[in-house]
């Protein structure tokens, strides 16, 4: 077989790999996908950008109810029956910000990716 | 024949490329509540699932041992009875805490429990400014000289109580990193309530990037550190506080005054291969302030590096972090 044929085969293999690689990298770029967790288990995963209608999710924990409010691009803890209400005071979940955490009821609302461009953030949690 | 050989080389190359991509996805993670905060652990590689499970068990075990609020913990019993026959972990940790007390000239202190209680920084208590009388009484019980360790027998002076909140997470993170190494995990990311520990490098071989939270705005960062095999721990006045009559009172109590430390700093981040030291020193240096911390650094630059954010939002880093720290902000370098 001619060398030229081999060059064509090899370079097309390289291109295919590069395209696949780009695809893999792209699929992990920052998004607005949030996960709602209770006691370490996923309750629901939501892409905030695809939310069209406002809605609420109610979770029951040891210290009563947590009501989560969701609208397009937005998620917040609307109310909580736990004693300190740190999760309500946190306000909306922001890109690059800290997760919304209700320690008494073990609820965490966070982005599924780390959108601040680092692998971890120190001092962020309580 | 020639064609077959070349084809198999090409096939192998593509297969290897794909497999290296597959290995990326072989990851295990867990998020759970322990030590009054959220723990998040991610490990990569073939043995990651069993390593993560073992780490989770170990952290829960240590929590039960060291918690100040769990009635079955050794520390709770020690605080109640003033004397216990302690496990090896508790003895090791208390001895280390005593060393850090000496190293920081008393700035890092595990006898703050009565003060922290007076200020209401435990869950279930109301945060408030205690009376001067309460503070004066609590101050009498504070200091490592009130702890006696005789082999496994630990005794406390009357009214002295311990709180390992400033060191237990560091110890747990050291144990977690150790479990990962024993299980052959060469790439992992651990965050124990904001105490970050990285194991090895990232799965692609590059440094881990750890951001330091901006004390004024949680959604921003003062800079990032490129690190491997190290702990990165931040103590900041922004992490837990309350407001009363227009004053802000945070949770890092200075045992010299009995009040929240007013050392001119908003946060201190300590970088060290020794997780326990990083945890203890982040609190200790916060209480000491920039000037005393710089002096401590010049004698111990092999042990740790640090990033300071002052009340005036100036950033200072120790010179051993110069090649690791990057920031959009201006920063000064502390020479050893």
pLDDT tens for each residue of A3-34: 888 888 888 888 887 777 766 655 444 468 89
Select the residue of B30, B209, B236 nearest A119 (Cβ to Cβ).
B209
pLDDT tens per residue, range A80-102: 998 888 899 989 998 877 889 89
CA distance to partner chain A, nearest, from residue B217 (Å): 8
Domain span at residue A98? Answer: 33-111
- Residues A94, A121 contacting (CB under 8 angstroms): no
Reading the block at residue B305, the tokens are 């590096």
Say whether B37 and A1 touch across the interface (CB within 8 A): no
Is A89 a domain residue?
yes
Helices (H) and strands (E) in chain A, counts: 2, 8
Task: Looking at the complex, report in whole angstroms how far the Cα of residue A71 sits from the nearest Cα belonging to chain B.
Answer: 20
Chain A residues whose beta carbon lies within 8 Å of the beta carbon of residue B37: 103, 125-126
CB A78 within 8 A of CB A66: no
Alpha-helix residue ranges (DSSP H) falling in chain B: 2-25, 48-66, 74-81, 88-103, 113-118, 132-139, 168-182, 275-299
pLDDT at site A9? 86
Q: Strand B331-334 and strand B315-318: pairing?
A: parallel
Pairing state of beta strands B325-326 and A100-102?
Answer: unpaired
For residue A119, being part of any structural domain is answered with: no
Min Cα–Cα distance to chain A from B74, Å: 23
Q: Show the tokens assigned to A13.
A: 């293999």
Residue A117 lies in a domain: no
8 Å CB contact between A94 and A74:
no
Co-location of A49 and A79 in the same domain: yes
Is residue A91 assigned to a domain?
Answer: yes
Of the partner residues A96, A120, A126, the one whose CB lies closest to the CB of residue B196: A120
Distance, in Å, from the CA atom of A98 to the CA atom of B218, rounded to the nearest integer, reads 6
Instruction: Measure the N-to-C terminal CA separation of chain B; round to a whole number of Å.
Output: 66
Pair A49, A96 in one domain: yes
Q: Which residue has the tokens 């370079």?
A: A11
C-alpha distances out from residue B230 to A110, B57, B271, B304, Å? 25, 22, 7, 10
Please give the tally of structural domains in chain A: 2
Annotated domain spans of chain B: 69-162
In this structure, is the dihedral angle defined by the CA atoms of residues B24, B29, B35 and B36, taken in order, positive or negative? Answer: positive
Find the angle CA(A116)-CA(A121)-CA(A124) to the nearest 5 degrees.
Answer: 110
pLDDT score at A94 = 86
Q: What is the dihedral of CA B101, B59, B123, B70, to 10 degrees?
A: -90
Same domain assignment for residues A70 and A105:
yes
- Is A28 at the interface with chain B, CB within 8 A? no
Per-residue model confidence (pLDDT) at position A12: 85
pLDDT of residue B13: 64
For residues A50 and A32, give the distance between their C-alpha atoms in angstroms, rounded to a whole number: 9
The answer to whether A63 contacts chain B (CB < 8 Å) is no
**Cβ atoms of B264 and B310 closer than 8 Å:** yes
Closest residue by Cα to residue B247 from B260, B257, B264: B260
Q: Examine the domain organization and report whether A25 and A47 are in the same domain.
A: no
CB B116 within 8 A of CB B122: yes
Which chain A positions have a beta carbon within 8 Å of B14's beta carbon?
A: 13, 17
In our burial notation (b when 16+ CB lie closer than 10 A, e otherwise), range B19-41 reads: eeeeeeeebbebbbbbbbbbbbb
Per the DSSP assignment, residues forming a β-bridge with B265 are B310
In the numeric block, the tokens 């967790």 are attached to A37
Q: Are strands A120-122 and B208-214 parallel, antiparallel or unpaired?
A: parallel
Tell me how close the Cα of A118 comes to any Cα of chain B, in angstroms: 5
Indicate whether A116 belongs to any domain: no
CA distance B144 to B133: 22
Same domain as A97, residue A73: yes
Check whether residue A6 and residue A52 sit in a common domain. Answer: no
The verdict on residue A100 lying in a domain is: yes
- The Cα–Cα gap between B251 and B313 comes to 20
Whether residue A103 lies inside any domain: the answer is: yes
Give the number of other CB atoms < 10 A from CB of residue B5.
9
Inter-chain residue contact B234 with A122, CB threshold 8 Å? yes
How far apart, in whole angstroms, are the C-alpha atoms of residue B323 and residue B336? 15
Residue pair B213/B222 in contact (Cβ under 8 Å)? The answer is yes
Q: Are B221 and A116 in contact (CB < 8 Å)?
A: yes
Quick one: tokens of B265? 């700093």
Are A22 and A56 in a shared domain?
A: no
Q: For residue A1, is it within any domain?
A: yes
Q: Which residues of B touch A97 (CB under 8 A)?
A: 218-219
Beta-carbon separation of B224 and A118 below 8 A? yes
A21 and A44 assigned to the same domain: no
Do residue A52 and residue A101 come from a single domain?
A: yes
CB A110 within 8 A of CB B254: no
State whether A4 and A24 are in the same domain.
yes
Tens digit of each residue's pLDDT, chain B (336 residues):
566 676 666 666 666 555 554 444 588 999 999 998 999 999 999 899 999 999 999 999 999 999 998 999 999 999 999 999 999 999 999 999 999 999 999 999 999 999 999 999 998 899 999 999 999 999 999 999 999 999 999 999 999 999 999 999 999 999 999 999 999 999 999 999 989 999 999 998 999 999 999 999 888 899 999 999 999 999 999 989 999 999 999 999 999 999 999 999 999 999 999 999 999 999 999 999 999 999 999 999 999 999 999 999 999 999 999 999 999 999 999 999
Q: Who contacts A115 (Cβ-Cβ below 8 Å, separation ≥6)?
A: A30, A95, A96
Q: Does B267 touch chain A (CB under 8 A)?
A: yes
Contact: B211, A121; criterion CB under 8 Å: yes
Mean pLDDT of A101-121: 82
Q: Which fold has domain B69-162?
A: T-fold (1.10.3980)
* Statement to judge: residues A20 and A7 lie in one domain: yes
ipTM, 2 decimals? 0.81
Give the CATH number for residue A80: 2.60.320.10
Concatenated DSSP letters of A20-58: HHHHHHHHTS---EEEEEETTEEEEEEEGGG--S-EEEE
Do A1 and A63 belong together in one domain? no
**pLDDT score, position A36:** 92
Of A20, A21, A97, which is closest to B218 when you measure between CB atoms? A97
- Chain B contact set for A9 (CB, 8 A): 10
């Amino acid at each position: 077989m001619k060398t030229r044929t081999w060059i064509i085969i090899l370079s097309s293999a390289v291109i295919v790999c590069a395209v696949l690689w780009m695809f893999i990298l792209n699929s992990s770029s920052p998004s607005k996908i949030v996960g709602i967790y209770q006691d370490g288990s996923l309750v629901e995963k939501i892409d905030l950008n695809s939310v069209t209608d406002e809605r609420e999710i109610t979770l029951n924990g040891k210290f009563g109810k947590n009501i989560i409010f969701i609208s397009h691009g937005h998620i917040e803890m609307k109310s909580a029956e736990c004693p300190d209400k740190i999760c309500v005071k946190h306000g909306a979940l922001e890109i690059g910000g800290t997760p919304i955490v209700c320690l008494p009821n073990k609820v965490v609302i966070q982005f599924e990716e780390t959108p601040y461009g680092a692998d971890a953030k120190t001092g962020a949690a309580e | 024949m020639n064609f077959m050989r070349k084809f198999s080389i090409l096939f192998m190359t593509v297969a290897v490329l794909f497999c290296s991509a597959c290995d990326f996805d072989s990851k295990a993670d867990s998020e759970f509540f322990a030590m009054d905060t959220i723990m998040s652990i991610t490990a990569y590689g073939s043995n990651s699932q069993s390593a993560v499970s073992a780490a989770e068990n170990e952290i829960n075990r240590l929590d039960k041992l060291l918690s100040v609020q769990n009635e079955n913990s050794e520390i709770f019993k020690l605080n109640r009875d003033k004397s216990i026959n302690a496990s090896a972990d508790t003895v090791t940790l208390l001895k280390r805490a005593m060393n850090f007390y000496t190293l920081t000239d008393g700035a890092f202190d595990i006898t703050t429990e009565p003060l922290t209680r007076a200020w209401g920084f435990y869950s279930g208590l109301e945060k408030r400014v205690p009376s001067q009388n309460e503070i004066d009484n609590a101050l009498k019980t504070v200091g490592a000289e009130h702890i006696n360790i005789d082999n496994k027998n630990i005794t406390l002076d009357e009214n002295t109580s311990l709180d390992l909140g400033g060191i237990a997470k560091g110890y747990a993170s050291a144990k977690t990193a150790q479990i990962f190494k024993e299980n052959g995990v060469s790439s992992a990311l651990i965050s124990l309530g904001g105490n970050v520990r990285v194991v090895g490098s990232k799965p692609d071989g590059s440094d881990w990037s750890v951001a330091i939270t901006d004390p004024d705005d949680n959604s921003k960062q003062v800079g990032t550190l490129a690190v491997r095999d190290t702990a990165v721990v931040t103590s900041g006045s922004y992490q837990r506080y309350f407001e009363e009559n227009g004053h802000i009172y945070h949770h890092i109590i200075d045992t010299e005054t009995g009040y929240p430390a007013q050392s001119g700093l908003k946060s201190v981040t300590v970088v060290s291969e020794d997780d326990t030291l990083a945890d203890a020193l982040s609190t200790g240096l916060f209480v000491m302030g920039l000037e005393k911390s710089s002096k401590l650094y010049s004698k111990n630059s092999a042990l740790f590096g640090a990033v300071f954010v002052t009340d005036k939002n100036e950033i200072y880093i120790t010179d051993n972090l110069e090649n690791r720290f990057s920031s959009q902000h201006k920063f000064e370098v502390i020479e050893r």
